[in-house]
Structure formats: C-alpha cells, structure tokens
Structure 1
Amino acid sequence: MNDIDGAVAVVTGAASGVGRAVAADLAAHGARIAAVDIDRRGLAETVRALESDGHKALALAADVTDSAAVDTLFDDAEAALGPVTLVVNAAGVLATGPVAACTDQEWDRMLAVNATGVFAVSRAAARRMGPRGRGALVTVASNAAGVPRANMAAYAASKAAAVALTKSLGLELAPSGVRCNVVSPGSTDTPMLQHMTAGTGYGPLVAGDPAAFKVGIPLGRVARVEDVAEAVRFLASDAARHITMHELYVDGGATLR
C-alpha cells in the first residue's frame, strides 16, 4: 500500500475515536493529513500527536453540516498540502433510545452529521477528484445500517443514508477512476461506545442479547479503532484499485455476514 505515501487526505471526525485512528494510520504510511472536526481541542491534540511523530498535518475546525464551511476546508487543505487524493468520512454522532422517545432534535442532529455531512464532504470531494480522474473516498458507516437494531433506529437510518449515497457516488465517479467505498464497523472501543456502555461494560455486547434479538460478536471482542483504520487504509489504497461501491463490515461477525 505504498501509494498512500505522499497522498493528501481529508479526514473528518479526526478529533477522537475512529477518525483520529484513521488520521494516524494514514499519516504513518506517508499521507499528509487535513484533519477536520468541530471539536477544536480534540483536533489540536490529534494534530500535535501527528506532528510530534514527524508527520505533516493541518487542523481544520469545521462543521461538516455547513456546505460553505466544507468547501472552504477543501480549499484550505489544497492550498496548504496540495491536491486532495483521499477523503475519509469519519465524523458521526449517536443518540440511542426507542423511536417513540426520539426527539426531533436528536433525529435532526444525527441526520445532519451522519448523512448531510457525508453528502457535503463527498460532493466537495467529487467536484475536485472527479475532474482530475484520481482519488478514493471511504465513508465510515455502521453495521447498524444493514441490520435492524432496537433503540438505534434513527442512528441506523442516518448511516444507511450515508451508505446509499457513497455507493451511488461511486457509480457516478467510476468512469473517472475515482473509487468510493464504505467501512461499516460494529461495536468499537471509542469514547462514544464507552459512554453508551457506562455501568455495564462491553460484556453484554460480546455475549449478545436474545431479548433484543441481537447476536453477539463471534470473535469474542469489540473492535479496536486500529482495526477500522486499517480497513479504511486498504480501501483507500491501490491494493483495492479494482474495488468500488463496496461495503466492508468490520464487526467480528456480529451481523453474520
């Protein structure tokens, strides 16, 4: 996967969790990173860590739901680092609970970040990489997008929208040689999951919950963020040069796929 060396990568959600791990993994393989997040403090920590390891990185504080801000961040990234060749949509938010209790605000926020944010970033990427005939885009979605989950309907809907958008964009950009793929993690050790499982730990996730019709994790553990980041790097690299519109599940077999 040496083609990552020298690439310019825009990574959203880079302040923590999977986004931070993706930025670190791509940087370790030679990419120049435009790290994007609304969390300025976490974003600064990410970039400081990358730079302390000798990597080229740029912090771009932006709200991915703001199309004008997204266009500006791409302009700034290219002015500082060069033409963008890799884009990773890793920004995401989660609220759990039954549909009957889901507020308009929770629904709107998840759709805004998880779906509209992916649209805005992917559109900006397509407008640049498409005419150049070079590049790869990877959206980090969720295995919840492909299997019903009690108390996660709104989140699942937002991630399903992101999956459909990414695959359709992949079809549109295929003639230009730009590839668009999806990585769909299951339960992954991130601050988001730690907050969601506070008080119970990861044991119930691994074991499953028949009462909620939820299968456990056959591999017997939750994922590390590095597991997801390495899958993203594969799909972004020329090792996956004949793969587009694909959805790669990284969930330890939790969806039995």
Structure 2
Amino acid sequence: MGKLDNKLAVVTGGGSGIGRAITEKFAAEGALVALLDFNEEQGTETVDAIKAEGGKAQFYKCDVSDSAGIASTFDSIKSEHGNVDVLVNNAGIAAVGNLETCTEEELDRIYNVNVKGVFNCLKSGIPQMLENGGGSIINLASIASSIGIPDRFAYSMSKGAAYTMTLSVATDYVDQGIRCNSISPARVHTPFVDGFIAKNYPGQEEEVFKKLSATQPIGRMGQPEEIANMALFLASDDAAFITATDFPVDGGFIKIKK
C-alpha cells in the first residue's frame, strides 16, 4: 500500500522542478493528484508521465494569483474527485534586488504569486478539508524565511509570509484536524534555477552555478526529489503528530557556518 492511498492531493506549480517531483512522488504513493500550473505544456507532460507509470493525476491550468480562477478550479476538483485531503502550496517566483532596487511593480508581482497565491489556495482548500474532518497542508517557504539573504528583499518578504501563514493556519485549525507545516529548502537544482541564473547572470552561468553550489555547507545544491521526500512525510500519517513546524532541507545552510 502507498502512503497516500485514496487521498486527493493538490500541488500548485506541479509541472516542473520541485513541484513536479512532489507530484510524481505523491502519485507513486497512491494519491490522485490535481496538478495546478500556469504552464500547460509542462503540466500536461507531467500528468502524461504519471499516467504512463500507472499513477493518477489531472492537470488544471490556472494562475494562483487569480482568486476567482482558483476558487473555480477548486470547485471543479471537488465536483470531479471530491474534497481535497492534501494541499501543497509550491508555486512561486523569484526576484533579485535589495530595498533600493526593488520597484513597486516587482514587489506586487512577487506578492501576487508567492503570498496571495498561497492565500487563495488556502481559502479554497481549507473548507473542503473541514468537510473531510481534516487534512494536511504543506507550504513551500525558504531558508530566506528565517535568515537574511543578500539581494533578495521581495523574495524574502514573500517567503517570510509563507512561513507565518503556516503558523497561523496551524494554530487556527489544530482542533479541526488540519495540520499545516512548511518546508524551507536552500538552493535546489531545478530548471527554474538554471533559467534564473541565465536571466540574471548572462555569460556567467557556470561560474555562478559553482558559486551558488559552494554556499551550501554540504557541498552541493539539493535535488527536487529530496524536497519531495519531506513533502511526502508531512502529507502522510507518518507525520500525524506534527503541525506548525518548519523543516529546513538545506544541506546545513542555516545551522552550519563555514
């Protein structure tokens, strides 16, 4: 038996990187996964790959920053598959810059996806979990939620919000069977990271990749599957006694100084 047999899981940003690893892991453990993503090509490809392996998944194209669209998507999921048991708020975007270089437009862009996007999914997912008598929520925070990262003002703001929303939801719904935890990755090697480096450091990709990898005390970036393993644990009954907790999966970044 899989650890998520007969569970309905929603994973936002599930078409690539960490989100895809979580989606595939959950499906392999028996969940029916509703994959929410803005990128139709990546989302469809991931669902097709899961089905080819005998797993269960369905793609829903949506923008997490669109509250009406998210509400409609969760309504569709409920009518087609029932109430949500597990919600993973993974969708997110990044930004480089400090307070002085961060524009109002940049701050709004980051806020709309990384903060409002989490809020929208919580707002639609929690009522379904209450009808079920409980559920598990996992928010993707970051090491930037708890320590200062140079030139990441807007991103750090948004991930700090993801962490504190985790604490608030866990506190407000602990008596109603809903657990809410967060995962704080350090740098994880995904297509997102490769694209981020290429966009912000053109011509310096190899040098910057090595530099970013070297900042992890363990000596390398994480792999998406390593974050997915933690997400599976938190989603499953193995973590039934765990809520309101952040789990750094960071190669020692927060605690080990070199």
Give a deviation string over 1:221-246, Cα, whole Å, max 9, x none: 10000000110111111100000010
- Kept after mapping to 1: 8 A contact 2:2/2:28: no
Structure 1 residue 82: deviation in Å? 2.4
The equivalences for 1:86-235 within 5 A come to 86-198=86-198, 199=205, 200-207=207-214, 216-235=215-234
The equivalences for 1:23-34 within 5 A come to 23-34=23-34
Structure 1 residue 191: deviation in Å? 1.7
Structure 1 residue 203: deviation in Å? 1.9
Map of 1:237 onto structure 2: 236
In the alignment, the residues of structure 2 paired with residue 8 and residue 116 of structure 1 have an alpha-carbon distance, to the nearest angstrom, of: 23
Give a deviation string over 1:30-58, Cα, whole Å, max 9, x none: 00010001111111111111111111111
- The percent identity for this pair of structures is 37
In the alignment, the residues of structure 1 paired with residue 70 and residue 165 of structure 2 have an alpha-carbon distance, to the nearest angstrom, of: 17
In the alignment, the residues of structure 1 paired with residue 119 and residue 125 of structure 2 have an alpha-carbon distance, to the nearest angstrom, of: 10
Map of 1:36 onto structure 2: 36
Give a deviation string over 1:146-193, Cα, whole Å, max 9, x none: 111111011000011111112101111110111000011010011221
Structure 1 residue 201: deviation in Å? 4.4
Map of 1:58 onto structure 2: 58
Unaligned runs of 5+ in 2: 199-204
- Kept after mapping to 1: 8 A contact 2:135/2:177: yes
* Amino acid of the structure 2 residue aligned with 1:250: V
Structure 1 residue 83: deviation in Å? 2.0
TM-score, normalised to structure 1, is 0.93
Give a deviation string over 1:55-106, Cα, whole Å, max 9, x none: 1111101111111111111111122222210000000001112321122221
Aligned length: 249
Residue range with higher mean Cα deviation, 31-40 or 129-138: 129-138
Secondary structure of 2:234's aligned partner: helix
Task: Please report the RMSD computed on the Cα atoms of aligned residues, expressed in angstroms.
Answer: 1.4
- Kept after mapping to 2: 8 A contact 1:15/1:42: yes
Unaligned runs of 5+ in 1: 208-215
Secondary structure of 2:100's aligned partner: helix
* Amino acid of the structure 2 residue aligned with 1:254: F
Map of 1:79 onto structure 2: 79
- Kept after mapping to 2: 8 A contact 1:126/1:173: no
In the alignment, the residues of structure 1 paired with residue 46 and residue 84 of structure 2 have an alpha-carbon distance, to the nearest angstrom, of: 19
Map of 1:211 onto structure 2: none
Secondary structure of 1:54's aligned partner: coil
* Amino acid of the structure 2 residue aligned with 1:167: L
- Kept after mapping to 2: 8 A contact 1:8/1:83: yes
